[in-house]
Amino acid sequence: MVTSRSAATARSQRASLRRRGPVLERAILEAALEQLSTVGWNGLTMEGVAFGAQTGKAAVYRRWPSKEDLVADALQAGLPTLGEAPDLGSVREDLYELCRRVRAAMYSKPGSALRSVIHECDGEIAERLHGLIVTGVIEPSTRLFREVVQRGIGRGDVRPDATGELLFDVVPALMMYRSKMCASEWTDSEIAAMIDQIMVPLLRPGRG
């Protein structure tokens, strides 16, 4: 009698034979993101990824010799983009729209995977992935926030000296704090309150 595990292994081997090269690699990367977003960094295993991709463990290890290598490539391939900076006529509306995009990215599958890595990894692994986080997340989002503020300066609804680096850390810091420390998402009304009560007063002309 064939056991369920043997049957699953046989199915995985057949699937591996049908999928090769980039198709198989994409399936493995997607399975890694799925594991990260559901069981987190600590729960992710190469065996679980192989099962999710319907392939053999050897096929995973041939391409990625370690869990860290696999996760780095999976995040690199799957990180969500925020698009172009919004231009809705006022800094308040632009910030509101951009924050909603950031929230959507944070709670997408790749975003959830990235948060699990940030929250659970030890210092050595976090250091290894630091460059990916900077180039794939921090720099793109900071660029968009900066564009929104610079456009506001040009319109006259943002003070000309609102260019300090700390200003562009406020929104990401608040959103990550709520996600990590409070384990709660941002509603539309909470995003609006953050913009109206914190960001607009910080940016408005005439602030001393």
Mean predicted confidence (pLDDT) in 122-137: 76
Of 61-65, 104-108, 140-144, 179-183, the range with the lowest mean pLDDT is: 179-183
Mean predicted confidence (pLDDT) in 3-25: 61
The Cα 26–Cα 37 span in angstroms is: 17
Residue 81's pLDDT is 84
Residue 125's pLDDT is 73
Mean predicted confidence (pLDDT) in 34-50: 91
pLDDT category at 208 given cuts 50, 70, 90 is very low
Mean predicted confidence (pLDDT) in 24-30: 95
Q: Which residue has the higher pLDDT, 79 or 208?
A: 79
pLDDT category at 179 given cuts 50, 70, 90 is confident
Which residues does 17 contact at the CB level (< 8 Å), separation at least 6? none
The Cα 204–Cα 7 span in angstroms is: 65
Question: Are the C-beta atoms of 133 and 76 separated by less than 8 Å?
Answer: no
- Considering 2-6, 59-63, 174-178, the range whose residues carry the highest mean pLDDT is 59-63
Domains annotated on the chain, with CATH: 4-65 (1.10.10.60), 79-203 (1.10.357.10)
Residue 128's pLDDT is 74
Which residues does 83 contact at the CB level (< 8 Å), separation at least 6? 101
Q: Is the pLDDT of residue 178 over 90?
A: no
Of 27-31, 59-63, 118-122, 160-164, the range with the lowest mean pLDDT is: 118-122
Q: Which residue has the higher pLDDT, 135 or 3?
A: 135
Q: Is the pLDDT of residue 47 over 80?
A: yes
- Considering 4-18, 39-53, 129-143, the range whose residues carry the highest mean pLDDT is 39-53
Which pairs count as long-range contacts for 107-110, CB under 8 Å and 24+ apart, including other chains? 107/185, 108/80, 109/33, 109/34, 109/37, 109/78, 110/33, 110/37, 110/75, 110/78, 110/79, 110/80
- Considering 46-60, 77-91, 101-115, 178-192, the range whose residues carry the highest mean pLDDT is 46-60
Q: Give the global pTM.
A: 0.77
Q: What is the CA radius of gyration of the chain?
A: 21
Q: Is the pLDDT of residue 2 over 60?
A: no
The Cα 148–Cα 207 span in angstroms is: 18
Q: Is the pLDDT of residue 176 over 90?
A: no
Q: What string of DSSP letters covers 112-123?
A: HHHHHHHHH--H
